[in-house]
Structure 1
Amino acid sequence: MEQGAARERTTETPSPASPPADAAHGDPTDPAGTADTRFVRVPGQARGGDAAPDARGEHTHGEPAGLVPRSVRRHSVRGQVLEALRTALVGGDLVPGEVYSAPALAERFGVSATPVREAMQRLAVEGAVEVVPNRGFRVTERTPRELAELAEIRALIEVPVMLRLARTVPAARWAELRPLAEATATAAARGDRAHYAEADRAFHRAVLSLAGNQQLLAVADDLHRRSQWPLISAPTLRHGVLVADAAEHTALLDALIARDLTVVRALVREHFTGSEC
């Protein structure tokens, strides 16, 4: 086992001819290879026939196609894996209640298990997954009540900030954010939940950044990300929900430009409580 760990530390990306460092030696969190491994590939990994062989204990039946996430501009392998996992969470490819093992996911990604474990540990800190001894990581099962609580906290934080900004920020500055609002509309029109979630966070970050408070940005973005994780037995997100949610971004910009505080307050509250993203 220590030999396998040493091999992990010496390489982050094994050559195509050799398997991931501890794929052949097992994993302390999954010695039996029993965890579910339906998943995606890391950015840049080819689709189709050149995928890595199925890992031990992997469920291959009904694996959805086209799950390669968009390229992630990260320098580290761990960063790329973390973003791929987050995209899979939002897109529903990581299923609430299912257990996933680090070595099997690493084989899918074409990397060693070390960056996968590190990324999963980060997600555990964020509350997205939980460690299952001797098996791997289980995706957290969230309830509608948790989503409502997150929406309430976001409203308590963001509504006062947006109302203050509406009184002080010039109309020209709000107009500069229209391309971000349009990006959410484009993703919504395609029904692309993962890309919509990313564009949605980018829009809200840009709005809140005008307050000049980095701590606010960090807290708000964390709450926003958590609110995007799928619920237990979540149904497929309706196309109309995404489109309506994206339209609220444009309406909010219009209200901010007009300094219509009543409309701003109503739109922001509705955006949090009425959205499924």
Structure 2
Amino acid sequence: MSQLRLSQFSIPQTVSLRERVRQLLLAQIMSGEFVPEEIYSVAQLAAGLDVSPTPIREAVLDLASKDLLVIHKNRGFSVPATTPEELEELHKIRLLLEVPSTVEAGLKMGEEHAQETRAIAEATVQAAQSNDLVSYVEGDRRFHQAFLAPLAMPHLTELIMSYRDRARLRGLRARLGSREIVAASKEHIALVDAALARDEALLHKIITNHVESTKTRWSEAG
């Protein structure tokens, strides 16, 4: 971590420093690059990123409030370990919540919103192809948030996104640019097409495969 610089990542400069740091830390968490239960110093991370400790602390507090990090007073923070049993439970919860919600959202999606969501999907494909970890993780999150927006159920969307964030994608950085990850990102575009076609069966098939592929990557990386 000490070799990282924010300039290495294509996070828009228009985004606040706190948000840029949050995106970077979240990408590291979701890709499994933080060693579980190892304590990381805010000061050392700030020095490595060449920023003050303040945005690091703010980002850590935000991620800790979502149970993605654990704060160790006067020591730093760590990523909680996740057992295979917990990952299996997360997978089942996602199937129960995310699949039917995505299908319902797709059937309600209007043309204008679909085009906006497609633009996010296309940017995520580009990030996958260019090995841009931070942009890929953030684009993936933005896409699923946007796709669920027609439900007009922010609490449900927040819950679904929380479980998505906790489903670690170990070894993701090494897989970026691969046929597998690019194909997974292109499923976002297929979801938009299925929504515009009002194809309920296809929506269900695509999002189910999307969630199942995450579990497959867990198993292969473990």
1:236 matches 2:174: yes
1:148 aligns with 2:88: yes
The alpha-carbon deviation at position 93 of structure 1 amounts to: 4.4
Q: Which one has more relative contact order, counting CA pairs under 8 Å at least 6 apart?
A: 2
Cα deviation code 1:74-129 (max 9, x no counterpart)? 44x54443333223334554333432112222223344434433432333332333
- The amino acid that maps onto 2:39 is V
Contact kept, 8 Å, 1:99 with 1:138, in 2: the verdict is yes
* 1:136 equivalenced with 2:76 (yes/no): yes
Q: 5+ residue gaps in structure 2?
A: none
TM-score using structure 1 length: 0.64
Aligned to 2:128: 188
Alpha-carbon offset, residue 170 of structure 1: 4.2
Structure 2 length-normalised TM: 0.78
CA 1:177–1:98 in 2, change beyond 3 Å: closer, same or farther? same
Alpha-carbon separation, structure 2, partners of 1:111 and 1:88: 17
The gaps in structure 1 that reach 5 residues or longer are 1-36, 45-66
RMSD: 3.0
Match of 1:26 in 2: none
The structure-2 alpha-carbon separation of the partners of 1:72 and 1:83, relative to structure 1 and needing over 3 Å to count, comes to farther
- The match for 2:198 is 259
Alignment of 1:1-277 (within 5 A): 38-41=2-5, 43=6, 67-68=8-9, 70-71=11-12, 73-75=14-16, 77-132=17-72, 135-171=75-111, 173-227=113-167, 229-231=168-170, 236-237=174-175, 239-275=178-214, 276=217
**Residue 117 and residue 223 in structure 1: after superposition, are their counterparts in 2 closer, same or farther (change >3 A)?**
same
8 Å CA contact 2:46, 2:56 repeated in 1: yes
Structure with higher Rg: it is: 1
Answer whether contact 2:106 2:147 (CA < 8 A) is retained.
no
Query: What amino acid is aligned across from residue 165 of structure 1 in structure 2?
Result: A
Cα 1:210–1:38 shift into 2, 3 Å: same
Give 1:144 shift. 4.1
Q: Which has the higher helix share?
A: 2
Report the Cα distance in structure 2 between the residues aligned to 1:250 and 1:124, rounded to whole angstroms. 32
